[in-house]
Structures are given as structure tokens and as C-alpha cells.
Structure 1
Amino acid sequence: MIDALHLDSGQWLTLLNALPQDQRRTVLVTGVSEACERASLLHVGFGDVLSEAIELNELDARASRLSQFAQCLPRRRRIGRLTLDLLAREAFGDGEPLNLNPREFALIWRLADSLNDTVSKETLIYDVWRMGFVPETNSVAVHMSRLRRKLAFVGLAGVIETSANGGYRLLTPSVDVPAIDRPLHASAETLSH
């Protein structure tokens, strides 16, 4: 929560503008007296914006709603030129579909959960294959190879890196685009914007 009442407008606008787009939807801003300023902050993606005149029980209810909203899976993730669409279970490179099979999509989605961090083969087997043990198989490597080939086909070669210990990581491109992070339960009107 950010209380704009105790900051001058230049300070809180700078603070709010510094927040990445994908984090704004979980922020509750209070103390914004002007309706046009509240509307502007809502339009740029903040979860809720309130005036200084608010009762504690209403503030609690609004904060609880934002907390629940924050736990929703995003509909889309955008990582540079790569877009992942959870509802379609597809990835796109510059709008071009990769035509992923379900495991390939699950692998890249899981890697996106830990962007720039190595995810072990064991973790991928547990999270993607839902197995509690690591079988003697090269299934992860085979699926990863197919995924990399499809990424290379749309000009995204090298975004998945293999670590020395056999894990994998999805790298953020050097020129990143703000994440598109819309909840699954958002209305059709929200998704069209």
C-alpha cells in the first residue's frame, strides 16, 4: 500500500511511475484527493486508488480483494519478444505462434515463473510431469530441444540456457518489454485493452 497523502504529488507520482506494470495491479494507493488523479492511476494499472476519506473496514476489504487478485495466475506473460498465453496454452515470438505441445508450453511457463534463475531437472519433472521421483529418462532434454528449435524458428534462439548441473533457465532479453499480466478471471473488455 502506498499512502500518497504524506508525500507531495511529485514524490508519489515518481514512486508510482517507477513500479513495473506487472506489479501495479497489486498496489493500493490511498490519500489521492482528486478524482481525475485517481482515475489516471487506475488507467495506468494500479489495483485500487482511494481518497483520504476511507473507513478502516472498507480499506481492509479493498486490500483483501487486491491480495486475492495478486494470487491469480496471469493470462499472458510477455518477456521481450516472447509472449506466453496461458488460456490458449501457446507461445508467440513477435506474434508468430510456436505451435507448442502441452508439455513444451508447461516447460516454458514453468521457466518463466523463475525468469533468469536456473530450474533443476528434478523440479521440472515434479512441476511439469507431476512425478515425485526422477526416472531414468531424457524426456526433459528431448522436450527442451524441441522447444528450443521452435523458439529459434521465430528468431528467439538462445533464450533458454542449460546450466552445468543440467538445469535450465529462461533468459530475459537485453531489451525487455513490460509484462502483460492479466488475470484469468478478467472480463472480456479488460482483455481487449
Structure 2
Amino acid sequence: MDVLLAEDDLETAGFVADGLRVLGHNVTHATTGDAALKAATDGSFDAVILDRMLPGIEGLEVLRELRARSNRVPVLVLTALGGISDRVDGLDAGADDYLVKPFAMVELAARLNALARRSSAADAVTRFEVGDIVLDLLRREVTRAGRPVLLQPREFALLEQLMRHAGRIVTRAMFLERVWGFHFDPQTNIVESHLSRLRTKLREGFADDPIETIRGSGYRIRVDG
């Protein structure tokens, strides 16, 4: 696996890079946000390990800029900021996973492997069409009846999960794990608020809501449009 490590603390960077190289991974090290953004943009990496508190461009700004450029490289945020709001901010910015320092190298390696598997599985299908809605993973575009629908990264990811499971119920727990990377319930309305914005955007100019709320169970996209 080719990994970009964006970490300004040289001791931490050395520990992580040495551990990953022992496991057979190739590691490119960047010490600033500017260098990390350039490397991630110019290079081809299987994953990025991104510290939040980088000199220059802050880590989450690097992440937001990558997602704005439709760069879908899996990103694991590695940081000392471990509060619930910090995790939510990181995942909302486009992170695929979030690991708090101090950490065990074996867990970091396992999370990277999980991201790689998830990315490989997601790449198998690049276009979904349900009813009059089309989602293109490569172009990061959504249309409804041919009209473009502009979505934020988390809204796009929510719709992707609904379309991957077309005709089936997607639970709140599934959204939390697959869109935000939470393996627990943070006791916030993060899913509901993002779904509300997604539904508003999909309904603009249309009479019907393509997303059904299945009371007590979850949500489902209408397969008949």
C-alpha cells in the first residue's frame, strides 16, 4: 500500500513510518499542510494519514480541499483532538476514519487495511441509477431527471448508501458507521440533519420526496422514482 503520512511531529512520524514499512507499505512523509495537499494532489496514494494540527494549511482544510477537488483517496485523521465534536468535524470534512493519539500501531494498521478494503469494494461500481436519480462516483455528480443536484460530501455519501441499498432499509447505525466511521452512537442528530438537507436538495423542483422514512427502522430510497 502507498501511504501519505502528513505529520509534523518527527517522533510520531518516525514511529508510524517505521511500523508501516515493516508491514510492507511504502510511506511518503509530509511535514506541513501545504506539502501534504501538493503530494496528495500530484501523487497516487492508497491512503492518507492526516494530522489535524499541521503547520501552514490546517489538516481539516487540506481534507476539505481534497474533497472539493473530487479526490476520493481514503483519509484517516490521526490527532490528539478526541472530543465528540472534534470527531464530528473531522468526519464532516470528509475523513473516512478518525483515530485519537495515543494509539496502538496494530490498530492503526488494521484501520488502514479496512479503509483499503472498503475503497476497493466501492470502486467495483462507479455509477448508480435509481428511478430518475443518477449518482456518478467518478465524477462526484448527482442528477435528478437530468438536472444537476449539488451535494456536500456527507450528503453525497448518504445518497450513495441509499442507492447501494436501493429498495432496502438503511438504518441510522449503518449511516453512522459507513458515512461517519462511528462504531457507536454519538447521541446527536447528525444523521437526521444531513438527511434533511439531502432531501431538500433532491426535492427542489419536484413534487415527491424520493427518500422514505421507515418509522422505527431507518430510511429507504424509492425504487420507482
| TM-score when normalising by structure 2 | 0.44
Of the three residues 159, 167, 182, the one matched with 2:210 is 159
Is the Cα–Cα contact under 8 Å of residues 169 and 217 in structure 2 kept in the other structure? no
Q: CA RMSD in A?
A: 1.9
Task: Specify the alignment match of 2:33 in structure 1.
Answer: none
For the pair 1:132 / 2:183, whether they are aligned, the reply is yes
After TM superposition, list the pairs within 5 Å mapping 1:109-188 onto structure 2.
109-155=160-206, 157-173=208-224
Cα distance in 1 between the residues matched to 2:135 and 2:216: 26
After TM superposition, list the pairs within 5 Å mapping 1:20-99 onto structure 2.
72-99=123-150
Q: Matched residues, percent identical?
A: 38
Q: Deviations over 1:95-146 (max 9, x none)?
A: 2111000000100100111111111101110000011111110011111111
Task: Specify the alignment match of 1:24 in structure 2.
Answer: none
Cα distance in 1 between the residues matched to 2:139 and 2:122: 20
Change beyond 3 A, Cα 1:125–1:133: same
Question: What is the letter of the counterpart of residue 177 of structure 2?
Answer: Y
Q: Which of structures 1 and 2 has the bigger CA Rg?
A: 1
Q: Where do 5+ consecutive residues of structure 1 fail to align?
A: 1-69, 175-193
Higher relative contact order (CA 8 A, sep 6+): 1
Task: Specify the alignment match of 1:108 in structure 2.
Answer: 159
Is the Cα–Cα contact under 8 Å of residues 93 and 156 in structure 1 kept in the other structure? no
Q: Deviations over 1:9-43 (max 9, x none)?
A: xxxxxxxxxxxxxxxxxxxxxxxxxxxxxxxxxxx
Change beyond 3 A, Cα 1:139–1:153: same
Residue 78 (structure 1) shift: 1.3
Is the Cα–Cα contact under 8 Å of residues 128 and 164 in structure 2 kept in the other structure? no
Question: What is the letter of the counterpart of residue 186 of structure 2?
Answer: P
Change beyond 3 A, Cα 1:138–1:73: same
Instruction: Tell me the SS of whatever aligns to 1:155.
Output: coil
Question: What is the letter of the counterpart of residue 124 of structure 2?
Answer: L
Q: Where do 5+ consecutive residues of structure 2 fail to align?
A: 1-120
Cα distance in 1 between the residues matched to 2:199 and 2:122: 30
Change beyond 3 A, Cα 1:107–1:79: same
Question: What is the letter of the counterpart of residue 144 of structure 1?
Answer: L
Q: Deviations over 1:136-164 (max 9, x none)?
A: 10011111111110111142732101111
Question: What is the letter of the counterpart of residue 144 of structure 2?
Answer: G
Is the Cα–Cα contact under 8 Å of residues 93 and 154 in structure 1 kept in the other structure? no
How many residue pairs end up in the alignment?
105
